[in-house]
A and B are shown apart, each in its own frame.
Chain A
Amino acid sequence: MRMIKRERISKKDAFRIRSTAIIGSLILSGLFIFFLGHNPLDVYLSMAKGAFGSIYRIKDTINIIIPLIMTSLGIMIAFKMKFWNIGGEGQILMGALFASYFALNFSTLPKPILLFVMFIAGFIGGGFWAFIPAFLKVKFQTNETITTLMMNYIALNLITYLQYGPWRDPQSLGFPKIANFADSATLPRLFGIHIGWIITIIAVVVITIFLNKSKFGYEIKVVGESQDTANYSGIRVNRVIIRGLIISGGICGIVGMMEVSGVNGTLTNHVSAGYGYTAIITTWLSGLKPAFIIPVSTLFAGLIKGGGFIQTAYQIPQSAADIIQSMILFFVIGSEFFIQYKIVPDRRNAKGGEVNVS
């Protein structure tokens, strides 16, 4: 047996593979749920209800959708250049850190000004954190998968250090917690959800236009297709990569700002909540298209929220809920593989000795 990359796949085949995968995942995790002593259909229904079953739950799920969409948008720009930015998590954290610096030290500024400054600071923080691996890549050809990943841990430990040390709230009686933000540093709400959702909608539109209509968007595309072509046509590849990554990280940094200001009300080392990693999957599954990021992120947020819901509703242990989520994920990602590749019997070992050239 061996794998062959598919030239193209008909819509019908793609649909067949995807639906088989989804049914397969539901069956396998259904068996698992059954052995936990619950009715699988009830649990699935309950998952959907837990994520989208009431206005309150939909709002809660939107709170997860917002950072997922934004982070996916950021990561997508890097992925379009075939720059594998695994550092969304760290870029979110650094954006959160930069924004928090202003929230904690300039809380007397008027609210709109302070929020604007925090917004810019978030972009700079995340952009700076993505610039470093981008620079290392173009100067020394370092593997960006490793450097961006490692930068996550540096960011995480930097915030942990600040939380336990210099930034610790003196009023917390020894408990390692950074002070809560003043009201002037808190994102306002509209329809019960922090206005990050408006920022997100704007970002989706702006980035779609930017990628499709602007010269820089075109350059990003060409660099992703082939660096040689880009060089040949006079595009300064290194500059495109560095600029693209600053934007990529900057958008992730804005996520950090929105999370500290709109959701957490302070900076903690949990602020990124794994969005940087989940967004890698959502970006990939959306086929690097901004429009598809929205439904995919919604689905994932539903999976996260619904998974949390069944824990309390059915008293399923957290680890078991995680297993159900991962099984579904495994099948969905697996199906993408079969859409890109097909498995054929290896005929070289067969008697005829015919070599398959493809």
Chain B
Amino acid sequence: MKKLLLVLLSLILILSLAACGNDQGEEPSAEEELTVGFIYVGPIGDGGWTYAHNEGRLYLEENMNVKTIYKESVPETQEVEQEIRNMIDQGAEAIFATSFGYMDYIEKVSKDYPEVAFFHCSGYKTTENLATYFGRIYEPRYLSGIVAGLKTETNQIGYVAAYPIPEVIRGINAFTLGAQSVNPDVTVSVKWTSTWYDPAIEKEAAVALIDEGADVIAQHQDTTGPQQAAEERGVYSIGYNTDMAEMAPEAYMTAPIWNWGPYYVEQVQNVIDGSFESHQYWGGIEDNIVELAPLTDLAPDEAQEKIDESKTEILNDELLVFEGPIYDQEGNLKVEEGQNLSVEEMLNMMWFVEGVEGNIE
């Protein structure tokens, strides 16, 4: 036993020495380059939301001489506050926190570290050194709705969604309006999961929607769970966050997707130049931060043409997605003909358009 230990111990020592040769500089040190911290709500392998942000981080590392650190699966509790403090303790001078529920905590921490630049994705609270950033994902969601509206035969689309907050509701409404633009009879049924990240629960919710008659599944979730449900049940699906074609090759048609990299590069450059200012960024298709993933062969034939048309209209500001007349679920006129929702109204949207089945609660 002792001999075995001795052998193993010397083995470790040798391995350590061998590793020393090429692993220099991994320990956080006070070097010149800027350290940027990323906080993720799920694991980077989720194939969705966190994966997309991590792609942005890798893009940042590729294009700039900065050091990035990240932490996965940080819950939306006080733990995020600790994590941010830890990152600053490890030298981070810019922090990107990528989930809505981090809002109150990051707001609090930002006041303790005025010299650090904070960026919060999808929130609405800012401070002197806390900016928010998000994209008009409702634009590509509208486009993905067109694909779903053309594809469905039962005229019933299932939508697996995380929480009834304005961000998610806005997406469901845009998707529904897109589907109705090509298929006025379509209804969109919503199932809440009360989680951003839970592959099993997300999948279950999708299965339930399919059992109720949906033949196209869309999602506002971080994983590919709903895609797998569609794949297994032989129906079609619209993904979210990233191109999910590989996860469900027999179901997936397209997805509204994120492209965070350029924004990260731009902002980190600002931090380096000392020109960082608090802001509320909300870019759209024209800024390239959001887009619609390429259609697969499963998408209906006429979809591409219809999408190109609508996309051009969005780029020319001819199509604003939330332009009247729009009715709510009870049939009340919410947006009059010729009117459209202001940014404020979109950011606080807490009602469903006509054709959505489900409750906000």
Taking Cβ atoms with an 8 Å cutoff, the residues of A that contact B are: 20, 23-24, 26-27, 30-31, 34, 37-42, 46, 54, 56-57, 60, 63, 164, 173-177, 180, 263-265, 268, 270-271, 273, 308-309, 311-315, 317-319
**A313 to B90, Cβ gap below 8 A?**
yes
A312 and B194 within 8 A (CB): no
Return the CB mask of B63-97 against A: 1 if under 8 Å, else 0. Answer: 00000011111011111001101110110000000
Mask of B193-207 contacts with A, CB within 8 angstroms, 1/0? 010000000000000
Distance between Cα atoms of A7 and B89 in the complex (Å)? 50
Chain B residue, CB-CB nearest to A164:
B194
| Given contact pairs A39-B19, A268-B77, A318-B43, A57 touches B28 in the complex (Cβ within 8 A) | no
The answer to the question of B30 belonging to the interface, with a C-beta cut-off of 8 Å to chain A, is no
Q: Please, which residues of chain B bring their CB within 8 A of the CB of A63?
A: 82
Contacting residue for A38 out of B5, B23, B78, B87, CB 8 A? B23
* A318 to B37 CA separation, bound complex (whole angstroms): 16
B27 within 8 A of A: yes
User: In the complex, are the beta carbons of B165 and A312 less than 8 A apart?
Assistant: no
Chain A residue with Cβ nearest B1: A20
Q: What residues of chain A lie closer than 8 Å to B104, measured between beta carbons?
A: 177, 180
Among B5, B11, B85, the residue within 8 A (CB) of A24 is: B5
Q: List 16 A-B contacts (CB under 8 A).
A: A26-B12, A31-B12, A34-B15, A34-B19, A37-B23, A39-B16, A60-B86, A174-B166, A174-B169, A177-B76, A264-B78, A265-B78, A270-B75, A308-B83, A308-B86, A312-B71
Which residues of A lie under 8 Å from residue B77 when comparing CB positions? Answer: 264, 268, 270-271
Determine the residue in chain B with the shortest Cβ distance to A177: B101
Q: How far does the alpha carbon of A264 sit from the alpha carbon of B78 in the complex, in Å? A: 5
**Given A39-B23, A318-B43, 14 more contacts at CB 8 Å?**
A24-B5, A27-B12, A30-B16, A34-B15, A42-B27, A175-B100, A176-B163, A263-B78, A264-B77, A273-B79, A308-B71, A312-B71, A312-B86, A318-B72
Cα-based distance from A113 to B330 in the complex (angstroms): 49
Cβ distance B20 to chain A, nearest Cβ, rounded Å: 6
**B27-49 Cβ-contact flags toward A at 8 Å (1 or 0):** 11000000001000001100000
Chain A residues whose C-beta falls within 8 Å of the C-beta of B43 in the assembled complex: 317-319
Q: Which of A38, A164, A176, A311 contacts B19 (CB 8 A)?
A: A38
| Structural contact, B5 and A175, CB atoms closer than 8 A | no
Residues of A within 8 A of B82 (CB): 60, 63
Is B350 engaged at the interface, CB distance under 8 Å to the other chain? yes
Contact B164 A42 (CB under 8 A): no
CA distance A263 to B72 in the complex (A): 21
Shortest 9 CB-CB contacts between residues of A and residues of B: A39-B19, A174-B164, A174-B165, A264-B78, A41-B16, A312-B69, A270-B77, A30-B12, A27-B8
Contact across chains for A312 and B12 when beta carbons are under 8 A apart? no
B89 touches A57 (CB 8 A): yes
A-side binding surface: helix, strand, loop or mixed? helix
Q: Is the CB of B70 within 8 A of A315?
A: yes
Q: How far is the CA of A31 from the CA of B78 in the complex (A)?
A: 34
Instruction: Kindly state the separation between the CA atoms of A110 and B252 in the bound complex, as whole angstroms.
Output: 59
* B26 CB–A CB distance under 8 Å: yes
For residue B348, CB closer than 8 A to chain A, the reply is yes
Q: Does B360 contact A (CB under 8 A)?
A: yes
The complex places the Cα of A27 from the Cα of B11 at a distance, in Å, of 9
- Residue ID in chain B nearest A42 by CB atoms: B27
Residues of A within 8 A of B20 (CB): 39, 42
Complex Cα spacing A309 to B69, Å: 11
A318 touches B73 (CB 8 A): yes
Where the two chains meet, the residues of B that have a C-beta atom closer than 8 Å to any C-beta of A are 1, 5, 8-9, 11-12, 15-16, 19-20, 23, 26-28, 37, 43-44, 69-73, 75-79, 82-83, 85-87, 89-90, 100-101, 104, 163-166, 169, 194, 348, 350, 360
Nearest-neighbour CB distance to chain B for A135, whole angstroms, equals 33
B166 contact from A39, A173, A268, Cβ within 8 A: A173
Closest to B165 in A: A174
| B89–A56 touching, CB < 8 Å | yes
- Among A20, A26, A30, which residue has the most Cβ atoms of chain B within 10 A? A30
Contact residues in A for B90 (Cβ distance below 8 Å):
312-313
Shortest CB distance B61–A (Å): 11
Alpha-carbon distance A24/B112, docked complex (angstroms): 43
Interchain CB contact under 8 A, A173 and B348 = yes
- A-side contacts of B85, CB under 8 Å: 56, 60
Do A23 and B5 have beta carbons less than 8 Å apart?
A: yes
Whether B70 contacts A174 by the Cβ 8 Å rule is: no
A40-B9 contact given A173-B350, A270-B79, A315-B69, CB 8 Å threshold: no
* Known contacts A24-B5, A54-B89; A174 and B194 CB within 8 A of each other: no
Shortest CB-to-CB span from A166 to chain B, Å, is 12
Bound complex: CA of A314 vs CA of B71, how far in Å? Answer: 11
Nearest A residue to B168, CB-CB: A174
Partner of A313 from the list B27, B79, B83, B101 (CB cut-off 8 Å) is B27
Among residues of A, the one whose C-beta sits closest to the C-beta of B40 is A318
Q: Which residue of A lies closest to B192 (CB)?
A: A164
CA–CA, A268 and B15, complex, Å: 44
Among B78, B87, B165, find the residue whose CB has the most chain A CB atoms closer than 10 A.
B78
User: Which residue of A20, A30, A31, A309 is within 8 Å of B5 (Cβ)?
Assistant: A20
Contact in complex: B16, A40 (CB < 8 Å):
yes
**Within the complex, what minimum Cβ distance (angstroms) separates A93 from chain B?**
13
List residues of chain B with CB within 8 A of the CB of A175.
100-101, 163, 165
A312 near B27 with CB under 8 A, answer no
Cα A63 to Cα B79 in complex, Å, equals 12
* Closest Cβ–Cβ distance, residue A96 to chain B (whole Å): 12
A41 contact set on B, CB distance < 8 A: 12, 16
Flag if B69 contacts A313 (CB, 8 Å). Answer: yes
Q: How far is the CA of A37 from the CA of B15 in the complex (A)?
A: 10
Partner of B87, one of A46, A176, A312: A312
Could you tell me if A311 and B12 are in contact, using CB atoms closer than 8 angstroms? no
Query: Roughly how many angstroms separate A37 CA and B89 CA in the complex, as a whole number?
Result: 25
Q: How far is the CA of A46 from the CA of B90 in the complex (A)?
A: 12
Contact partner of B28 among A37, A40, A273, A313, CB < 8 A? A313
Q: State whether B163 touches A174 (Cβ < 8 A).
A: yes
Do A46 and B86 touch across chains, with their CB atoms under 8 A apart?
no
Contacts of A173 in B (CB 8 A): 165-166, 348, 350
